[in-house]
Chain A
Amino acid sequence: MCPSVIQVDVIIPTQTKYLDLIGSIGERIAKELDNFTGDREALAYQLNLVLTEATVNAIKHGNDNHPQDTVRISIHLFEQELNIKVYDHGQGFDLATIPAPDFDHPKESGMGIFLIRSLMDSVTYTRQQDCNVLEIIKYLK
């Protein structure tokens, strides 16, 4: 793959007060996409949302609310692709077992992964040596 145009690496404490910061980075990146021909405002919102949901996921499920723990978010922007990786140090979970939402009986929680999957092109969650990584890809047209 070609070298990335932009790479942003952020490490935050596992605290929800940093969600705004992480989401805002996504919004700003959407505005830097020179060749993107789609709805830029919509993409800005979507990246804000996806980064917010993925980070919440890592904070809540990944680190068992250990206050000294951190979440690492790595964003690579390539010519044709935006790649987001969110690393956590928790027990992890199986992406395949997360059910699709029941739209007729909506629940108050559990929509995060559904939103990420709906808005992005590829979502995987894998175990690495000492952490888990949620990898999200959006192809840019």
Chain B
Amino acid sequence: MTALRRLGPALFAPVLAVVVAVVLSSAVMAALQVDPFRVFEVMVDFGTGPSQQITALVVILNRAIPLFLAGLAVAIAFRMGLFNIGVEGQYRLATIIAAAAGAAVSLPGPLHVVLIIVVAMLVAAFWAGLVAVLKVTRGVSEVISSIMLNFVALGLASFLLTGPFRGSAPGSQIVGTADIPASGWVPSLNGVFDLLGLANPPRQLYGFLIIAVVVGILVAVLLNRTRFGFDLRASGLSASAASASGVDARGMVVKTMLLSGAVAGLIGLPDLLGSTHAYTTNFTAGLGFLGIAVALLGRNKPGGIALAALLFAFLDRALVPLQIADYPASVVTIIQGTIVLAVVVANEVAKRIARRSAERGSAEPAATGGTTTAGGSPDQRQEVQA
């Protein structure tokens, strides 16, 4: 019961946001003569037969993994009070360079994968680090610099793709880097289905799921259980209290952005190592901004982010069935967008309510304590005890 009471306030804002989004979208749909209930029915219809249902599950999980990583990267920065809006550029640049690196070498199995991961993390960390350096040395707002660097990263990626890192034959429809040899692939997890006695669908579940889970746990431990994590969270809660407690503010900004960038570097890897094996012109895009949405919905905590990622992935998966059933599939994007706005408003409202009720329970005297004489009257100094 206490667990629910503790979780209660934490869940309030996200749940309220989702409810508001669903209600608003339904209203819009109804106003435009689309039956909202039918739409939701299609969304939750995972298909007939175990193979179809497992496939739907796999699609959702595969989509959720990069969303989760994106949310994690953004959340690390958010917890410290920074906006890492540059996640989009960080992961795209990291993925293409890592793809090229992976295609250029041939190492035994796990080592090859490790190399690709390390390269991706380093590139993205470096890119995020630029933002931090500009902020602490020149005072440039991290919001603008990361947005600008996003464009630069995309331009660089495009240049690299059509230039030095080009792997596909000239004149082909889709340009991509050279394929990564099999030793650089992450095997799928479909074997688990066999183990559990479930249907084994043709769609492959990314093995990167395990790595993502591990990263999530590591980040959670780092934030909640280490000294560094404490310093990071304290800086986000109250910069002045953190400074007074000894945290070096500028160093903290740099370290946080490097860490956030490093996690961002992983975002493109599930798709890269699990299915495409090369970076192409139509590689998954937009995860950076969805990551912001997921982080906000998940309240910047790894557990919440995982749930939020699953929700967004679930919504994304519904695009195809909706199109097939001839419904406006982009209702999904409306729901996602409304959720984001609703959750930030709900978070703010919840914070104010919580603060106000806590403050009321421990009324502070408005006048500061002044002088008293030896026989000072107590009534002036008394406060209302909670």
Question: Are A and B part of the same complex?
Answer: no
A contacts, CB < 8 Å to B: none
Interface residues in chain B, defined as those with a beta carbon under 8 Å from any beta carbon in chain A:
none
